[in-house]
Structure 1
């Protein structure tokens, strides 16, 4: 089962298994960044969990489903590399669930896999 790996694009390139870097600067990056002003609560910074939830919600939308289906096809079977610490929520967990059809152990514990419903 593919997993999330902490690292950079260089980490993905050097990995013994096939990995894809999904962090900043890639088409798979999360446009919602923890630490910036929160969209829901002005004057408060967005948490990592909020950023992941917004990413997942975007992929459930009418335009997002188009991208979600393509991301799933490209990322299926690969380990995903991101700069997020492994002990915090990360959009790579959502992408892993999307691409491989089930939540990883870490993802199931956090319930960050929010992509219910068919992708069309």
Structure 2
């Protein structure tokens, strides 16, 4: 089963063809970043968990599900490398589930596939 690794783009290139960098600057990067102002809790900074949850929620949306399908096809079977610490939630965890678990129909969007049912990070 593929795993999440910590490192940079160079780390992914050095390790093997079986690794893909998904951090900032990649096509798979999370647009929601820990430390920026929180949309859910005004006056606080976004946590890693909140940023990861927002990324997952975006991929479940009417536009995001198209990205989810592309990401799933591109990342299946690969280890994912990100700069996040391994002991905190990371969008790479969402991408790993997305790319390596069986898709389920999404009742909200006719004809779509929903890869993230029930996940929160």
TM-score range for the pair, normalised by the shorter chain length: 0.7 to 0.9
Structure 2, unpaired ranges of 5+: 103-114
CA distance in 1, matches of 2:54, 2:70: 19
CA distance in 2, matches of 1:39, 1:83: 23
CA distance in 2, matches of 1:14, 1:35: 29
* The structure with more radius of gyration: 2
Q: CA deviation at 1:16?
A: 3.9
TM-score in terms of structure 2 length: 0.84
Q: Is residue 101 from structure 1 mapped to residue 101 from structure 2 by the alignment?
A: yes
1:27 paired residue number: 27
Quote the RMSD (CA, aligned, Å). 1.5
2:89 paired residue number: 89
How many residue pairs align between the two structures? 106
CA distance in 2, matches of 1:73, 1:81: 17
Considering fraction of residues, name the structure with more helix. 1
1:15 paired residue number: 15
Q: CA deviation at 1:18?
A: 1.4
Q: Is residue 55 from structure 1 mapped to residue 59 from structure 2 by the alignment?
A: no
The 4+ residue runs of structure 1 with deviation greater than 2 A are none
Q: How does 1:31-46 map to 2 (within 5 A)?
A: 31-46=31-46
Q: Secondary structure at the match of 2:63?
A: helix
Q: CA deviation at 1:99?
A: 0.0
CA distance in 2, matches of 1:41, 1:2: 34
CA distance in 2, matches of 1:72, 1:16: 19
